Amino acid sequence: MQIVDVSELCKALDLEQIEVNIFRGTNHDIGAHHVFGGQVLSQALHAAMLTTPEDRIAHSMHAYFILPGDLQHPIIYMVDQVRDGGSFTTRRVKAIQNGKDIFIMAVSFQLKQEGLEHQIPMPEIIPPDDLQSDQDLLSQFSDRLPESFKRFLRPRPIEFRPVDPFDFILPEKRDPIRHIWFRAKGELPDDLALHQRILAYASDYNLLTTAIQPHQDEIQIYQVQLASLDHAMWFHRPFNMNDWLLYEVDSPSASNARGFTRGSIFSRDGSLVASVAQEGLIRPKKK
């Protein structure tokens, strides 16, 4: 099933409670051979939220992808209620398929509290209204794309508008930094927890491809095996996925068949709303 609207995405990411602290989630296909990492991040965060008092807001999550998820089977999420403190709540989530752990994550929640405030500035960048979506850009060259990439040419519930588009036709060496505007397609209700779940989903896009950019004179992206290994995320301030957010992504290092990437997510008014870090497998495919 192709999901084209964020309301459809919310339904696809929803969980069924089958026992205390145990939930079941279904999968959707984004064009990859395995379950999309953003789906598992979002569903695991949701499972943790379902066991946490509503007055506590998720502020950080740290995850490891252990095995590829099978699209043909549901995923079971088991939550360990580690701690309920005076200000902070900690949850540990395990995702299981076919009797094996495929993913683990720790999530921390906090009461809303007053404290010191500062942030890095948002870069001055071309506004989203002056840009095309990545899907529109790809469609212009669909007849020249490798077959392995044509399956990604499908409607998506999140719209991405790259400031500096990835060139799949004539790739050239670039610095490992990108800027991408994105927002939900459709309308989300005013529910911060739901917006956090959708942002966790969207945050898994555009990271590892940034680590390829300095090497495009040596190898093209469709010749590389990419897989997320871990993913960390911090929620700093409230935000709205119905409006444009700016994803500033860079890759400080690649070594030993791994690429390390970081992301800063800004609201349109310049507020830093979230930060992301991810390391992933990056190695040439076997011929």
Active site amino acids = 204, 228, 278
Cα separation of 44 and 15, whole Å? 9
Asked whether the CA dihedral 286, 281, 45, 154 is positive or negative, the reply is negative
Secondary structure of residue 200 in the 3-state scheme: helix
Cα separation of 285 and 120, whole Å? 38
In terms of Cα–Cα distance, which of 197, 223, 181, 215 is closest to 57? Answer: 197
Tell me which residue has tokens 């509503």.
Answer: 54
DSSP secondary structure string for all residues of 123-164: PP---GGGS--HHHHHHTTGGGS-HHHHTT-S--SEEEEESS
Q: Does residue 228 contact residue 208 with C-beta atoms inside 8 Å?
A: yes
C-alpha neighbours within 13 Å on the C-beta side of residue 73: 13
Asked whether the CA dihedral 55, 60, 65, 66 is positive or negative, the reply is negative
Q: How far is CA 219 from the centre of its chain?
A: 25
Q: Name the amino acid, one letter, at 111.
A: L
Asked whether the CA dihedral 9, 137, 166, 256 is positive or negative, the reply is positive
Q: Could you give the dihedral angle defined by the CA atoms of residues 64, 67, 71 and 73, in that order, rounded to the nearest 10 degrees? A: -100
